[in-house]
Homo-oligomer: A and B are copies of this chain.
Amino acid sequence: MVIVMAPEATQDDVEAIVELVATAGGEAFASRGVSRTIIGLIGDVDQFTALNLRGMRGVADVVRVSAPYKLVSRGNHPDRSTVTVRGVPIGPDTVTLIAGPCAVETPQQTLEAATMAKAAGATLLRGGAYKPRTSPYAFQGLGEAGLRILADVREETGLPIVTEVVDAHDVALVASYADMLQVGTRNAQNFALLQAVGAAGRPVMLKRGMTATIEEWLMAAEYIAQRGNLDIVLCERGIRTYETATRNTLDISAVPVVQRLSHLPVIVDPSHSGGRRDLVLPLTRAAIAIGADGLIIDVHPNPDQALCDGPQALVDGDLAELAAVMRDFPALVNRTLTVSPAMSTAATPV
């Protein structure tokens, strides 16, 4: 940590800081410059943060030097991690496809979508039983009835389930059905929910907040990790910018940037980011090429009748192309497409 003093700061101001830092068990080294003095601190950053040095007289700025997250940090865990969802890996050696309908609407629609997902090479099924809708008048999801449909479809297809939980209160219920809990972009800083999923004993998929910096995203992951749960997969799904031609702006550089800062797997959502069917396959190719550990894609048997996000869902006609991409692109980045392990279809979690 470095403190930048204002030009008009006095010697007394500097000494006050040196003393304060000492009370926190740290050391301060002042360098007097031509126009300013800077003070380097050695010691425990969290203790220094609690001192509120920015509020001290004469301080112009405080620059933190060490990262504010630890458990999820690559510094703490130099090898990249693999998270396993009922035997299906998401990690650095493979590319994992998660696919399914944005919302669980009916048993038939969900089963058809799951079949489409498998045909495209998916090894995990996504589907929303709880939908966070910006408008209170829009379809909010089937709730537990939707979870039961997903469980039935898992039994039929063998695909483990990834589904969103929107409230801390529902975590236990959702965890009793799902193999992986998803935290959505709008809940990126719902700290109660993050702590609850951290304690739920399931792998978590943490979507980036639509206006979250990479640092905020990793600190959200740290909330989960603090509860002892490091089975976290980060999902880049686009950020909010001034451009309106796409629903969000996919921040493709976040994949390598985060993989250097954190050991957690990073996947990409090419459906919600672009928001357009015709962008899904191009963004998928880009994601695999840049080293994403996986993709999460919307598919729907009849998007015309989808109750949410129909325009971005892939349809039957796209599946062959998606399957080809999933089959052919991973080799170019020295990976293989994840395939389903031999697995029981019983409801007991792995």
Contacts and interface: CB of A to CB of B under 8 A. Distances in A.
Interface stretch (A32-40, A84-92, A107-115, A153-161): A32-40
Contacts of A19: none
Given A36-B66, A52-B310, A290-B282, A191 B132 contact: yes
Contacts of A139: 50
Contacts of A317: none
A100 to B, nearest CB: 18
Given A137-B46, A256-B278, A289-B329, A214 B243 contact: yes
A134 interface: yes
A219 B290 contact: no
Contacts of A210: 211
Contacts of A253: 246, 249-250, 273-274, 279, 282-283
A170 to B, nearest CB: 8
Contact of A52 (B166, B279, B303): B303
Interface string A50-62: 1010111000000
Contact of A252 (B132, B189, B250, B257): B250
Interface string A215-243: 11001001100100000000000011111
Interface in A129-173: 132-140, 166-169
Contacts of A187: 189-190
A350 to B, nearest CB: 28
Nearest to A291: B282
A13 interface: no
B240 A4 contact: no
B55 A310 contact: yes
A68 interface: yes
Contacts of A219: 134-136
Interface string A280-308: 00110111111100000000000111110
B285 A333 contact: yes
A187 B7 CA distance: 33
A191 B133 contact: yes
Given A65-B33, A222-B136, A310-B55, A257 B279 contact: yes
B242 A132 contact: no
Contacts of A347: none
A349 interface: no
A335 interface: no
A286 B275 CA distance: 19
A44 B66 CA distance: 27
A311 B54 contact: yes
A90 to B, nearest CB: 19
A124 to B, nearest CB: 23
A15 interface: no
A34 B29 CA distance: 14
Contacts of A333: 285
A251 interface: yes
A342 interface: no
23 contacts: A4-B63, A7-B75, A29-B29, A29-B31, A31-B40, A31-B42, A34-B42, A34-B44, A35-B66, A36-B66, A55-B306, A56-B304, A136-B219, A187-B189, A211-B240, A214-B243, A241-B242, A250-B251, A252-B252, A257-B279, A286-B290, A289-B290, A329-B332
